Structures are given as C-alpha cells and as structure tokens.
A and B are shown apart, each in its own frame.
Chain A
Amino acid sequence: MSPENTFHYALSSNNAWAGYKAHQNPHFFPKLAGGQAPEILWIGCSDSRCPETTILGMQPGDVFVHRNIANIVSPTDINTTAVIEYAVAHLKVKHIVLCGHSACGGAAGALSDGRIGGVLDTWLLPLKTVRYNHAEELDAITDEKERVIRIAQLNVEAGIKVLMNNPTIREAIAERGLEVHGVFFDIGCGRIKELGCGTAHKSSSTISGDHVVRGKHGQLVFGQDGEAEIAAAQ
C-alpha cells in the first residue's frame, strides 16, 4: 500500500465508523462530547499490536491511556507523571492497569549488549537495571523468546513498584481503595493475564483460563445523567 493510500484509508474508515456508531445509537457522540468518566487508567506499550480499548473489548470513554516504549514507568518522567496525576487526582479512576506484552522490542533491546543509539538507550535504562538485577534468572532461560517474555514481566513488576510509591497513587489507595494491577498481554493468543503484583498480591480474577463469556462484549450505555458505563449485551 502506498503511503497516500493508507492515509486515505484511515480517514475514510473514520467516516464509516462515525456513521455506523451514530446510526447504532444517535446519542453516542453527543453524550461522548459531554465529558469522560473512565474507570481504568491503562499504561501500556506503544507497540501497534496492543490496542488497549480493542483488546479489552471496551468502548470510547472507558479507558484513559498512556502508551510508551516498553511500558516503562520512570519515577521522574514528567509525561507519565502528568498522565497519572490527571487520571488519579482529577478523573478519579478506580483501576490502574500496567500491561507488558510478549515479543516486546524494547525488552529485546534491553537484553542486547550493543548500543541502540539516540535517546533510546537512556529511556530503556530502567529495563537494563531489571536485566542486571535478575541476571541469574534471565541467563538461565535458554529460549530467547521466553527470556524476552520474562524480562517484560519483571519490567511490569518493577513498574508496579514505582507506581505504588507515587504519592498521588498512595493517597488514592488509602482514601478510596484505588486498585493497581500488573498484567501481561500474550500477543500469540490475544489474552491478558494478571501477574499478581500491585494492590492485589495474588491473582484476584475469577475467570478461569478457558472460560468464555458469550454476549458480554462491552457496550457503552448512557444513564439519565449522561454518565457512561459498560453494560453487557443481552
């Protein structure tokens, strides 16, 4: 596909999507314009294979999002900090989900010894630290793909520690029970699993591995007051 074609595709596709949504529910966009009240802050990787709202089966208005290279949470990064501040202190989200994923380019980069160049080596430094802190465990993994998966999971655990020390998050946990979750997205099967770190130390999800919920795909439903919420399709 030539560059011009892809560009036109996205714009015309938006046109079709907006028409479809408005047809499905004439109140969809007017209500959306009224404001946002997301319950989830998602911190994930920029990787094109991890579109958060899509893989969560959710709708516009449901998930507040920050995505960066290798879903790194650095305590002094003002970009991520501003997102957390806005989501937790102003929007008062109920959950923070930090999501790592398999086949992460950033994780693979941190496992290589060469210099990537530019600003990337500096950005990936927290991941390098994870690598050196867990050198023994990582070196013992012979399969390269598995090693990339493991360091990406350890990276989520490290990020969760940073999140749990963030003063705004600490206050929200104490005052109103904000939950912090570390999860992992397996690109090879499209599923998310909990890593058992954060406010819930062990997996709290009641959904078992092969359990499939039919007809529960998230639909945006608007109450009388214009608040958006997820409801199961009947």
Chain B
Amino acid sequence: MYLQETHDKVFENNKSWATEQVAKDPDFFKKLAAGQNPEYLWIGCSDSRIPAEQITGLQPGDAFVHRNIANLVCNTDLNVMSVIEYAVKHLKVKHIVVCGHYGCGGVKAAMTPKDLGLMNPWLRNIRDVYRLHEKELDAIADEEARYERLVELNVYEQCRNVVKTAALQQSYAENGFPVIHGWVFNFRDGLLKDLNVDFETILKDIQKIYNLTA
C-alpha cells in the first residue's frame, strides 16, 4: 500500500542515517545523549523547504529550534515564549536567529482577503506588520517585490518582538548575549541573506517603553 511505503521509508532512512553517524564517529550518540549546549536559537517557518540544520550546516546539538507558520513571535503565545525563555535562561544561547523566507505561504495567505477560519488569529499578526509599514509597502508597485519586502519587514518586526521579552533583556544586561539576527532564506539560490538587524539600536529604542530589566 502506497501510504505504508512512504511511512516505512522514513524509518529506513532514519536507520541508515544513524548507522552512518556511528560509522563516522562511534561516540556520536553517546556524546549527544550526555546533554545539549546549543549556541543558537532558531525561530523559523514550518515550511518543509527550510530545515534549519541542513541549510546552515549545523550539526545535531548546535541549534535549538522553534518553527511555526511564518516565523512569528507573539507576546501572548506561550508556545514561542516558553521556547525563548528556555533557550535564553536555561540553555544560555549566544545567538537568536529569526529566519523568514521569500515565497512564504503564510505571508501570502495573510494578505489574501479571505476568511481562513482557525488560521485568522495567527495570520492577523502579519497584517499588523503591513499596517506598521503601510506607507513603504504601498509605494512598491510590483506585487512580487512588495511581498518580498513584507517578508523582510516581518522578520524585522519579529526580531523586535524577541527584544521585547524580559528573558532577552535581562540576559543581555547581565551577560552581553544573546544577540539577535534577522535572516531571509531564498529558494532560488539556497542562500541566506543577513538583514543586518541593528540589535543595539533596537534594544535602546525598545527599552524606552518596554524595559523589563528591573
């Protein structure tokens, strides 16, 4: 049966992968089992085309990963807030990467004038990003280029949302890390683009109103 075959293939692949790792390094899994000490927290999109570890060459153990629709960081979402808190306060990651991607289905769906039921509350956050940057986005005549810019601005705003958390602000004041990066993945060439988010300036701006260090 077709469904059974695709399912079995996954288990076959996993066994080959595990066997290969042991062939390369007999202690590979023993070391992994001893604990994790990742330097990265990766907040990315659920999109199947962006497996964080493969596109960055990071190994198991290197990056703590949260992936949701359109890489959003919402302050009332206990799911992503738990991830940030655990990564910053307990694992003490040095970098937090928010990684978006051009051609994001979530961003496109959010800008479609349509009732998407259960997805409405989640996708609303992207419409809010548009509203924050309405003038700039409206000025872009080409639709494709406008979407690409919205993807970048969405990453930028989610970086700001990470900076608004108590965990980030307190850890940075105390340790000088983690620092925030905004990246965008491009399917056309497989390359990551660094948006060069000015972390220090954002932090200063944000703390005027959102200071949670006390």
A interface residues with partner B (beta carbon < 8 Å): 1, 3, 6-7, 9-11, 13-18, 21-22, 28-30, 32-33, 36, 38-40, 46-69, 74, 77-83, 85-87, 90, 94-95, 97, 102-103, 105-106, 117-120, 122-124, 168, 177, 179, 181, 187-192, 194, 204-207, 211-214, 216-218, 230
User: In the bound complex, do residue B118 and residue A82 qualify as a contact, i.e. CB atoms below 8 Å apart?
Assistant: yes
Q: Choose from A47, A56, A95 the contact partner of B17 (Cβ within 8 Å).
A: A56
User: In the bound complex, do residue A218 and residue B48 qualify as a contact, i.e. CB atoms below 8 Å apart?
Assistant: no
Residues of B within 8 A of A102 (CB): 33
User: In the bound complex, do residue A85 and residue B67 qualify as a contact, i.e. CB atoms below 8 Å apart?
Assistant: no
Which of B35-43, B133-141, B152-160 forms part of the interface with chain A? Answer: B35-43
User: In the bound complex, do residue B18 and residue A190 qualify as a contact, i.e. CB atoms below 8 Å apart?
Assistant: yes
Closest partner residue, chain A, to B183 (CB atom): A11
B202 at the interface (CB under 8 A from A): no
Closest partner residue, chain A, to B79 (CB atom): A79
B189 to chain A minimum Cβ distance, whole angstroms, is 6
B90 at the interface (CB under 8 A from A): yes
Among residues 85 to 120 in chain B, which have CB atoms less than 8 Å away from a CB atom of chain A?
85-87, 89-90, 94-95, 97, 103, 105-106, 109, 117-119
Residues of B within 8 A of A50 (CB): 60
Residues of B within 8 A of A77 (CB): 77-79
Among residues 48 to 97 in chain B, which have CB atoms less than 8 Å away from a CB atom of chain A?
48-58, 60-69, 74, 77-83, 85-87, 89-90, 94-95, 97
User: In the bound complex, do residue A191 and residue B14 qualify as a contact, i.e. CB atoms below 8 Å apart?
Assistant: yes
Q: Choose from B66, B187, B192 the contact partner of A67 (Cβ within 8 Å).
A: B66
User: In the bound complex, do residue B13 and residue A217 qualify as a contact, i.e. CB atoms below 8 Å apart?
Assistant: yes
Residues of B within 8 A of A30 (CB): 188
* Contact-residue bracket for chain B: 35 or more
Q: Choose from B16, B61, B178, B190 the contact partner of A48 (Cβ within 8 Å).
A: B61
User: In the bound complex, do residue B19 and residue A18 qualify as a contact, i.e. CB atoms below 8 Å apart?
Assistant: no
User: In the bound complex, do residue A53 and residue B51 qualify as a contact, i.e. CB atoms below 8 Å apart?
Assistant: yes
Q: How far is the CA of A58 from the CA of B48 in the complex (A)?
A: 10
Residues of A within 8 A of B29 (CB): 187-190
With known contacts A61-B48, A64-B47, A119–B62 Cβ distance under 8 A: no
Residues of A within 8 A of B179 (CB): 3
Q: How far is the CA of A216 from the CA of B81 in the complex (A)?
A: 39
B interface residues with partner A (beta carbon < 8 Å): 3-4, 6-22, 28-30, 32-33, 35-36, 38-40, 46-58, 60-69, 74, 77-83, 85-87, 89-90, 94-95, 97, 103, 105-106, 109, 117-119, 121-123, 166-167, 177-179, 181, 187-192, 194
Residues of A within 8 A of B122 (CB): 78-79, 81-82
Q: How far is the CA of A172 from the CA of B30 in the complex (A)?
A: 40
Residues of B within 8 A of A216 (CB): 9, 12-13, 16
User: In the bound complex, do residue B106 and residue A86 qualify as a contact, i.e. CB atoms below 8 Å apart?
Assistant: yes
User: In the bound complex, do residue A3 and residue B15 qualify as a contact, i.e. CB atoms below 8 Å apart?
Assistant: no
With known contacts A18-B189, A30-B188, A217-B13, A60–B48 Cβ distance under 8 A: yes
Q: How far is the CA of A85 from the CA of B68 in the complex (A)?
A: 12
A90 to chain B minimum Cβ distance, whole angstroms, is 8
Q: How far is the CA of A123 from the CA of B56 in the complex (A)?
A: 29
B158 to chain A minimum Cβ distance, whole angstroms, is 13
Given contacts A7-B181, A13-B58, A30-B188, 19 further A-B pairs with CB under 8 A are A1-B39, A7-B95, A17-B54, A32-B190, A46-B66, A51-B54, A51-B65, A59-B54, A62-B48, A63-B48, A67-B66, A86-B106, A86-B119, A95-B3, A122-B78, A123-B79, A179-B3, A204-B4, A213-B12
